[in-house]
Amino acid sequence: MDAKQVVLITGASTGFGRLFAETLARHGHTVFATMRDPTGRNVTNASEIRALAKKESLPLHVLELDVTKDASVEQAVRTSIEQAGRMDVVINNAGYGLIGLAEAVTTEQAQQIMDTNFFGVVRVNRAVLPYMRRQRGGLLLHISSGAGRVVFPSFGFYCASKFALEALAEAYHYELAPQGIESSIVQPGAYQTAVFGNFVKAADEARTNTYGVSNQIPGKINGLLTTTAGNPQEVADAVLQVVETPVGQRKLRYRISSASLGVDEINALSENVQARFFEVLGIATDTAFVQRSAATN
């Protein structure tokens, strides 16, 4: 793989995605900052990114990509590969939070969050993997969360979407390694982005009338998250490091937070459990994917 990478980022209109795009492009990587509706709701964000690219002569391009739409995902992947000639890194970043006690979340809201935070990743990875396979390499990077490992009551569906993402990204990690394609997970703690302002509220609040003290949980957790949130550039700097880590040396998981919340412990325990599971399966020593994945952890 070339030292300078071609990178596609989803959800690059604001927050982490935008910072990843600017940080990576400023380090010479060719970046496709993708977003929904760059000529409508995100027209200002798209123009600001294009203006920055022009002002600083950065290899930074804006493309339309809505992770909930197959055709939009396929088109963005195709266009970026036509323009850059290859695709080295995909950062699955697009996502949002859904706050409220689980019973107050409607089935439609549950489906919508999974469609973005989980199926969005399925769409993007399925679109890009045939290209990565042809070029015999690439990195799928997944922006999960501490809430992909620890359950926050009143964020049950957000947690479910990130737990699902963690499982999928880990399966890719083992399965794709023999083809030289890596899958890694970044687990940020709370950081100051637009995420908190963009939380969707559970629609069926009448369901929670009888919940008593549990009704205080959403406010408490929201308060904790917003008051402890750090500078998101920390996460962008960490992602830059992962992107610039040589092939074969990248880890499966990166926890980026000043507060561990026990996520590091869960990661370490799960790594041991997985290794024992592969031993039981009898594929610990004679299967390329385990050898390779053990070498990268």
Ligand X SMILES: NC(=O)c1ccc[n+]([C@@H]2O[C@H](COP(=O)([O-])OP(=O)(O)OC[C@H]3O[C@@H](n4cnc5c(N)ncnc54)[C@H](OP(=O)(O)O)[C@@H]3O)[C@@H](O)[C@H]2O)c1
- Comparison of 163 and 191: residue with beta carbon closer to ligand X: 191
Pairing mode, if any, of strands 89-92 and 138-143?
parallel
For residues 88 and 173, give the distance between their C-alpha atoms in angstroms, rounded to a whole number.
16
- Comparison of 259 and 288: residue with beta carbon closer to ligand X: 259
State which residue has the least CB distance to ligand X.
15
257 carries an active-site annotation: no
Catalytic residue among 144, 145, 161, 184: 144
Applying CB under 6 A, which residues contact ligand X? 10-11, 13-17, 35-36, 42, 66-68, 93-96, 116, 143, 145, 188, 190-191, 193-195, 198, 229
For residues 138 and 224, give the distance between their C-alpha atoms in angstroms, rounded to a whole number.
37
* CB 238, min distance to ligand X, A: 12
Catalytic residue among 80, 145, 154, 158: 158
Catalytic residue among 13, 145, 257, 293: 13
- Please provide residue 251's backbone torsions phi and psi, each rounded to the nearest 5 degrees: -85, 165
* CB 141, min distance to ligand X, A: 12
- Residue 70's DSSP bridge partners are none
* CB 136, min distance to ligand X, A: 29
Catalytic residue among 162, 172, 174, 293: 162
Nearest to 239 by CA among 170, 188, 177: 188
69 carries an active-site annotation: no
158 carries an active-site annotation: yes
The dihedral formed by the CA atoms of 148, 153, 154 and 157, expressed in degrees to the nearest 10: 40
Q: Is 120 exposed, middle or buried (0-12, 13-18, 19+ CB in 10 A)?
A: buried
Contacts of 15 (CB under 8 A, 6+ apart): 193, 194, 195, 232
13 carries an active-site annotation: yes
* CB 195, min distance to ligand X, A: 3
Contacts of 136 (CB under 8 A, 6+ apart): 179, 180
Pairing mode, if any, of strands 253-256 and 138-143?
unpaired
* CB 200, min distance to ligand X, A: 10
Indicate which residues carry an active-site annotation.
Answer: 13, 144, 158, 162
